[in-house]
Structure 1
């Protein structure tokens, strides 16, 4: 379970270029998802399941072009982990549930370099504080779930050089956005996954994750 001493949730409710939750299609989908539930926790769970299971992972399904904005991901029904995270954050914020982006640094294959950044979502739940979820989608040997207070992400930090990168970000980080814009086919993107060493990172959002 994760908590934070945070006093201002407004940055994690805002609409922006990439978390464009005020787009009519995002608002409509968010309202339909919320109509099935009565509590914010259940709405968050429903939004998570939709993005995890109904939005295809571009790499797993070998889909192009690369998507970035939340509304693009919804319209195309696919995205890389980063773009799927943008959509989930947008759906949560459209339902007035604070949400942000967080990242891991992982090996791409096996337990040796090279590395890449992996995109996650942190949602603020009244009963638990900040809670990390992974909407990338399942594939053989990779599963994730929404089961607070427990955390079940798709990938664990195992190898030297891997890390949970610090902080919750109200907006996507530049290295991720740059790659999503530059590489428009799944093959090009897969060959150029974004990476950044943990020493180069500092939280840009106002929230920090703490283990509890």
Structure 2
């Protein structure tokens, strides 16, 4: 991972999407970690809560499209991008820098080898002096993403031969084309026909 900013404060910002200063978001993050003094354990707790407690909208058979962290928490659901927004907000609320990573995958099930984006998070653990990458999408249908400070374990393995990869850049804010797609549609079925696509620059 290559952070787009060397300033960790950029990965702690509360904005319109990662709105961790919203009282409900901030209070939930603080309550979940109140009895946990260790930074790594706090990050693990928040990651596992978002992964396991907030169902992926498609898995749950829901039609609502959420985008901001507060929307995801309020409605209790989100797709991968939206869940990454909530996880980043939770982490930032307890002063753990968090950013956004994007993986390019074949649409599942494959449609004309179409490639779409998948959203996940980078977390900076100051006690370890390093970034780790995690995927809070949700473990269903054989998916087994885990929090690990040693061996990265994401939701989806990549097939280089199919053109799948993860962008090297660790973004401080969700990318605009993801946000615009989430804001554009009122139903997941409509969004599924127009999911965010790969960027032009693989190293973006």
TM range (shorter): over 0.9
Change (3 A) 1:123 1:196: same
Conserved 8 A contact 1:179-1:194: yes
The residue aligned with 1:170 is 172
| Equivalent residues in 2 for 1:148-163, closer than 5 Å | 148-158=149-159, 159-163=161-165
Conserved 8 A contact 1:128-1:148: no
Conserved 8 A contact 1:4-1:130: no
- CA-CA distance at 1:8 after TM superposition: 1.5
SS of aligned partner of 2:162: coil
The residue aligned with 1:124 is 124
- CA-CA distance at 1:63 after TM superposition: 1.3
- Contiguous gaps of at least 5 residues in structure 2: none
- CA-CA distance at 1:115 after TM superposition: 1.1
Alpha-carbon separation, structure 1, partners of 2:102 and 2:146: 17
The residue aligned with 1:21 is 20
**2:182 pairs with 1:180:** yes
Whichever structure has more strand as a proportion of its residues is: 1
Alpha-carbon separation, structure 2, partners of 1:120 and 1:65: 20
What is the TM-score with the length of structure 2 in the denominator? 0.92
SS of aligned partner of 1:151: coil
Alpha-carbon separation, structure 2, partners of 1:5 and 1:84: 21
What is the TM-score with the length of structure 1 in the denominator? 0.89
The residue aligned with 2:193 is 191
1:69-125 Cα shifts (integer Å, max 9, x gaps): 000000001000000000000000000000001100000125661111000000001
Alpha-carbon separation, structure 2, partners of 1:186 and 1:114: 18
| Equivalent residues in 2 for 1:45-194, closer than 5 Å | 45-109=44-108, 113-126=113-126, 127=128, 129-158=130-159, 159-194=161-196
Conserved 8 A contact 1:100-1:169: yes
- CA-CA distance at 1:202 after TM superposition: 5.0
Equivalent residue pairs, number: 201
